[in-house]
Chain A
Amino acid sequence: DGGITQSPKYLFRKEGQNVTLSCEQNLNHDAMYWYRQDPGQGLRLIYYSQIVNDFQKGDIAEGYSVSREKKESFPLTVTSAQKNPTAFYLCASSIDRRNTEAFFGQGTRLTVV
């Protein structure tokens, strides 16, 4: 099946730890995005990438890092510098920067314990 796979579905982090959220797509899409969603809120853009080996900061990039070494993979690391990381994290992809119909993975719910 073609699609976007995020893992894990639930993740618990101790304060001070870095954690990495996985996002993999087999749709041959060039563009990939990471969003954060807090309860009752919309989606805020963390990072996005339009092509392999290139990515741009979104509106709330502080405390996060990404890499785009392969077309199909766009992992997000939540570092200890992110002071309030508890949220629902969503990864999306679109064909390319011109065709921006984006499709989402199932999300990862991160909780700091």
Chain B
Amino acid sequence: QKEVEQNSGPLSVPEGAIASLNCTYSDRVSQSFFWYRQYSGKSPELIMSIYSNGDKEDGRFTAQLNKASQYVSLLIRDSQPSDSATYLCAGISGGYNKLIFGAGTRLAVHP
């Protein structure tokens, strides 16, 4: 099992809808989790971090962490075409705190 797994998509949602992105992780991954947004040809940009069970909201973004089920999700409310990008989930693995990424989910928001 990969340490951090994501569905590669594409996930297609209409403008104004809620986009739901999911990520699962293995027993080797623990502690902190992060969501990055990456536009084509650009470097990743940190948009959310979450460290404890439950929800964390920041504007239109909500990150959810469920340690018992080993999944992390990102909800984007009122999706805009400018949200179209690849979303990368990352977690911490191992004693030396390796930052490990999933393969990313491509989101397409259509007008």
Q: Interface residues, chain A, CB within 8 Å of chain B?
A: 31, 33, 35, 40-45, 48, 50, 56, 58, 90, 92, 94, 97-98, 100-107
| B98 with A45: CB separation less than 8 A | yes
Note all chain A residues with C-beta closer than 8 A to B101: 35, 42-45
Total cross-chain contacts (CB, 8 A): 57
Do residues B43 and A94 form an inter-chain contact, with CB atoms below 8 A? no
- Asked whether B99 lies within 8 Å of A45 as measured between CB atoms, the reply is yes
- Which residues of A lie under 8 Å from residue B92 when comparing CB positions? 100
Interface SS of chain B: helix, strand, loop or mixed?
A: strand
Residues of B in contact with A (beta carbons under 8 Å apart): 6, 8, 31-32, 34, 42-46, 49, 88, 90, 92, 96-104
User: Which of chain A's residues have a CB closer than 8 A to the CB of B32?
Assistant: 100
